[in-house]
Amino acid sequence: MRLTEQTTLNKKRRPLVLLFILTVLLLLLSAVSLGVGAVYISPLDIIADLAGTGASSHAFILHEYRLPRLYIAMIAGAGLAMAGAVLQGILRNPLASPDVIGVTKGAGLAAVIVIVLFPESPVFWLPVSAFLGAAAAAAALMLFAHKNGVKPATLALIGIALGAIFQAGIEYFMIKFPDDVNSTLLWLAGSLWGRGWEQVWMLLPSVPFGIALWLLSAKLDILHLGEDLATGLGQKTKQLRYVLLSLSVIIIGMCVAAIGSIGFIGLIAPHVARKLTGSRHKFLLPVSALIGALFLLAADSLGRGLFPPIEIPAGIVTAVIGAPYFLYLLRREGKKA
């Protein structure tokens, strides 16, 4: 009896220890990230600047450029990872991600339209249009899925089809307006360059939606058991999928609107989290969020620090890391099948 109780206690402690370790790693990486860039700032200078006693030039760089980028990387990385974990749970597909359901492509198409057709528009139009594009893609997904039954396979297939349509639209505008290709590619690659406090405030409303997803983690566990079993346990699976999908899309839309189309975070972070903590979404979601924040912050720091003053977009760094991992997952899932 005592052995069983001790085993249960260890299982409860393990995710908490993991969350603590990941939080410490995130804090350490944050300290490193604040110093990386065209102008190196030492840890002691960072402490002095944050305390208000450092050099004025360093303080300006830190407060106006690097601190907002740090917050954006953490919030957006966490949001995309949580949304990816939820989508994998809804679709019961380990290869699911925000790209699979077409939301990211919808946001990208809307942003490209604004870039090439309205180049003189106010700056805030771009993130607003990206969010509206993500919302329109989600609405189309729900409309078609509702007609065919809101089932995991249906959502995935419709999402892939919509994503292909939106991608075709993006390529059309890039070919039709070649003079704006550079601006378009920079946004589509996904970058934190030039992002500031305005994007931080834009991302903050996504935090309550992330908390709402975590509060629904028990229902997501039941949904993950399968359609018949979840229905037998009294869950209204169709309505629950709509709610979870809506919350995820809102988070994805806000993140894409702020930083552009950065891929693989919503795919890789949940996979790594699942290996570390198991499939219970009560722990899977916060662990995924911390890993996603670490991933995007590391990608932005590498892109900023490898060849200063030239910056490599964070989306390219995540693709370089994520593409081989995706191929590994495809191979593993193929062997299982």
How is residue 83 written in tokens? 């949304």
How is residue 302 written in tokens? 């590498």
Q: Give which of 138, 144, 135, 112 is closest to 125, Cα–Cα.
A: 112
Could you give the percent of the chain with pLDDT greater than 90? Answer: 20
Residue 168 in this model has a pLDDT that exceeds 80: yes
- Higher pLDDT: 154 or 115? It is 115
Residue 87 in this model has a pLDDT that exceeds 80: yes
Q: Are 66 and 311 in contact (CB under 8 A)?
A: no
Backbone dihedral region for residue 226 (phi beyond 0: left; psi -120 to 50: alpha; all else: beta): left
Q: Are 57 and 63 in contact (CB under 8 A)?
A: no
Tell me the pLDDT band of 148, cut-offs 50, 70 and 90. Answer: low
Residue 241 in this model has a pLDDT that exceeds 60: yes
Tell me the pLDDT band of 212, cut-offs 50, 70 and 90. Answer: very high
Could you give the percent of the chain with pLDDT greater than 70? Answer: 86
Residue 327 in this model has a pLDDT that exceeds 70: yes
Compute the average pLDDT of residues 151-170. 80
Model pLDDT, residue 59: 77
Q: What are the C-alpha distances in Å from 312 to residues 26, 273, 304?
A: 21, 27, 6
How is residue 94 written in tokens? 């380990």
| Nearby residues of 7 by Cβ (< 8 Å), 6 or more positions away | none
- Count the neighbouring beta carbons within 10 Å of the beta carbon of residue 226: 13
Tell me the pLDDT band of 258, cut-offs 50, 70 and 90. Answer: confident
Q: Give which of 30, 238, 86, 84 is closest to 148, Cα–Cα.
A: 238
Domain ranges across the chain: 41-336
Which helix (DSSP H) or strand (DSSP E) does residue 204 occupy? none
Compute the average pLDDT of residues 151-164. 76
Model pLDDT, residue 30: 92
Backbone dihedral region for residue 310 (phi beyond 0: left; psi -120 to 50: alpha; all else: beta): beta
| Nearby residues of 145 by Cβ (< 8 Å), 6 or more positions away | 151, 154, 155, 158
Tell me the pLDDT band of 1, cut-offs 50, 70 and 90. Answer: very low
- Higher pLDDT: 182 or 300? It is 300
Model pLDDT, residue 10: 47
DSSP 184: H
Residue 8 in this model has a pLDDT that exceeds 50: no
Query: Is 302 strand, coil or helix?
Result: helix
Tell me the pLDDT band of 83, cut-offs 50, 70 and 90. Answer: very high
The pLDDT tens digits for 121-131 are: 777 787 888 88
Q: What's the half-sphere exposure (Cβ side, CA atoms, 13 Å) at 204?
A: 7
Model pLDDT, residue 9: 43
> Which of 52-56, 203-207, 245-249 is predicted least confidently?
52-56
Q: Does the domain spanning 41-336 belong to CATH 1.10.3470.10?
A: yes
Q: What are the C-alpha distances in Å from 268 to residues 67, 86, 89, 134, 247?
A: 25, 13, 14, 21, 20
